[in-house]
Amino acid sequence: AQKVTQAQTEISVVEKEDVTLDCVYETRDTTYYLFWYKQPPSGELVFLIRRNSFDEQNEISGRYSWNFQKSTSSFNFTITASQVVDSAVYFCALSGASGAGSYQLTFGKGTKLSVIP
């Protein structure tokens, strides 16, 4: 069975601070995919990134960066110089690489980020 744990339920930061959202996953698959999604107050989930289990390179996209560590089963997300527009619920998700498991995204319960001006 797959499981995604986002231990931080809610985080508040002051604008321009850096913030890291934690994600720990469990899977028996040797190949799998990890994702991050953003859910602003409007409700629509916005895709941010997909990472393959065989690619442990960290990735940076503007103010966003992701740290994937297979040894600790973690896929953490850092926002640098946070802005009010970053306020949202952020979800980490996991899927298998083949068969029926590849169609199912297992989501964590999300971390609600509030950026205070």
Instruction: Enumerate binding residues for another protein (CB under 8 A).
Output: 33, 35, 37, 42-47, 50, 89, 91, 95-98, 100, 102-105, 107, 109-110, 112
Nearer to another protein, 13 or 112 (CB): 112
Distance CA 26, CA 117 (A): 36
Least distance in Å: CB of 104 to another protein?
Answer: 5
Least distance in Å: CB of 2 to another protein?
Answer: 12
Nearer to another protein, 18 or 40 (CB): 40
Distances (CA, A) of 5 to 2, 9, 26: 10, 10, 8
Give the closest residue to 86 by CA, choosing from 94, 95, 77, 99. 77
Nearer to another protein, 47 or 81 (CB): 47
Give 5-68 as a DSSP string.
E---SEEEEETT--EEE--EEE-S-SSEEEEEEEE-TT---EEEEEEETT----EEETTEEEEE
Nearer to another protein, 14 or 46 (CB): 46
Least distance in Å: CB of 16 to another protein?
Answer: 27
Least distance in Å: CB of 73 to another protein?
Answer: 18
